[in-house]
Structure 1
Amino acid sequence: MKNLNTYFKSAFTVDNVIFGFDESDLKILLIKRQEEPYNNHWGLPGYFVLPDEDLNTAARRVLKQLAGIDNVFLEQVKSFGAVDRHPVGRVITVAYYSLVKIADFNPTPDNDVAKEVRWFSVSDISALDLAFDHEEMINVCFQTLKRQVRIRPVGFELLPPKFTLTELQHLYEAILETDLDKRNFRKKILSMNLLIDLEEMQEGVAHRPAKLYKFDSDKYEEFLQDGFSFEVKESKRKEPKPSLSN
């Protein structure tokens, strides 16, 4: 049997893929690194796991230190372990992701690794020449988010307490990267009995006021537990939005 020391020569990191919604666009949170490798490159808020902490604790700590974001639900997605993914040595990373409302956070770095934190539109990621294999991680997590939105409700924490069906549709369109047929979307979402009609109309808008809704919290929690199938036809009047994976 080989000396066990042979197997204790790898480092572990965690990387956080934080998607944010700002009422119209889906964005990703990135840091500008100020250490080698990839100094001055944009990348995910990620760093090494300490010897005495578990992965979940490390993910939360790193996100807080590198981006100033705390108290978000992080879901573990996948491990990335290509032998040459880090130029210094063998580093295996575990990717976490979350979807948050951008207005609820004020990202600020508090460390020597990140000198800037910024939200970028998901559609702009491929032009940034990200550090390491972070573009691949974002792609994998984005595909995970797209699958999740079809089986679990989103929007409870991303939209205002009172919202229109158009605002909810824009959220789904931003995640799915396509334009949905308006009539089919409304028919589907209303048939789920997930929304409560507030019998109120928008005020102070330049266009025709729309009806306001809120989420039924009990039904929302039920769907979170049991899931559902959410399939809506794409609009035939518009070209699909370019995909991050193209």
Structure 2
Amino acid sequence: MRVVVQRGGRRGRRAGLAGVLWGAAELTVTVGVVVLLLVVHQVWWTNRQALAGAQEEVRELERRWTGPSGPSAPSGPSGPSAPSGPSGPASGGSDSAGAASGAGADRVPSVSGSRAPAPAKESAYGVLRIPRLGVVVPVAEGVDKRAVLDKGYAGHYLGTAQPGARGNFALAGHRNTHGEPFRYINRLRAGDELIVDVRGQRYTYVVGRTLAETGERDTGVIAPVPRSTVRPEYGYDEPGAYITLTTCTPEYTSKYRLVVWGTLKT
């Protein structure tokens, strides 16, 4: 009697290996699609969402300012003093991480200034215009990541000067994602204008100096007389009315800070 031997063991092992490889390929594709969607959401959708919201906030501020209870329009190169007012400069990068970003950057000491009341924390009260870059963005009180910066606003460091006042009107903004209002401030040059409107008053600052890279805890860049504590050859020596823009650098990171300074035009 002849016995027939089945030789399916090797084929079975091959089929099993093929199934494992196919499953791994499917998992890899699925993970890739999920990651791609997250990147699209973070880089594209948050920009559209924040930009649209910021633009609507600018329109709302301007409607309030031109309404029956407000002045007719911003006027003049400068106006009366506003209240003046650091932990390190807040992050404006893709993730706004670090002790100097978001809520941590709100903890800044106050300095002497006008007796006028400060704006409500985390509320938009002004508009920053950067003609060279085509930027028009709301200014809100504080630099909390979620409540201010992620809305596409420029955040005012608590405790620093208000627009038009002596001292340093210091702002933070995202460089990437969430409207990225400060993405191209590295392109600003000496002589470019930075215009701040606050309920019927217009304050025009002129860019004077830039600092391409400093540490996230460089508190000197937003001091009343701004001067880097990391790179002390950058900054100013005399009291005056300054503006400071801070954001992250390099792009899509929060490792360092990029700084632009200007002085009030008189």
TM range (shorter): under 0.3
Structure exhibiting the larger radius of gyration computed from Cα positions: 2
TM-score for the superposition, normalised by structure 2? 0.21
